[in-house]
Structure 1
């Protein structure tokens, strides 16, 4: 199975250690999504923009760990979508993004530039 990561789980980010045993398949841009800054990590919702993300092949045990990480605060839900690298799971933010700073280029790594 595959997973899409777009924020703190990306390479060289604070939570990238969760992806240590995953196989990186490549980077891609996904249309139809918008990214917002929650402070230490991003929120992605369905929208008009594009996001830059990484796609990994993962085991079911990694998916279970990521589910626990992402659902701890009940902020995200996991959905299966199509990507240029095959179908993959993505975590989408479940709360309002009203008033949050939008990351217009959809790239978490360039948010402060």
Structure 2
């Protein structure tokens, strides 16, 4: 089922040692590396993903055993839940990602603001910077 996957590309990746990355690893199995079409930008100490175009963004795919509960917690973390003031910095959306076993549809957090003035992360890998 498509709503049971999550594509992460920044501070939620298994190679990042933040509290939410550790939490996600505890509650959702990592399927493995994945890529999505798009561009990655340095926002501050974290990246913003803009899907589409010719570039590739490197990330990881997770299986979500309880999508509604886990995505609600992640929406709070990304400050895009309905109770946060708008405009939100991120929005949750579905993208096609290429995983080890082929393409799948997965939830991800899409940067929702203007990227003018932000540095593009060349190569599309936040952890490789």
Instruction: State whether structure 2 residue 118 is matched by structure 1 residue 100.
Output: yes
- Computed over aligned residues only, the root mean square deviation of the Cα atoms, in angstroms, reads 1.6
Cα distance in 2 for partners of 1:7, 1:56 equals 13
Match of 1:55 among 54, 61, 82: 61
Aligned equivalent of 2:90: 76
Cα distance in 2 for partners of 1:89, 1:100 equals 24
Tell me, which stretches of 5 or more residues in structure 2 are unaligned? none
TM-score under structure 2 length normalisation: 0.78
Aligned equivalent of 1:109: 127
How far apart are 1:78 and its partner, in Å?
Answer: 1.0
Instruction: State whether structure 2 residue 31 is matched by structure 1 residue 25.
Output: yes
Match of 1:11 among 14, 27, 35: 14
User: Contact 1:4–1:53 at 8 Å: present in 2 too?
Assistant: yes
Matched length: 110
Deviations 1:68-96 (A, max 9, x none): 11115711111112223422101110101
Instruction: Please say which structure displays the higher CA radius of gyration.
Output: 2
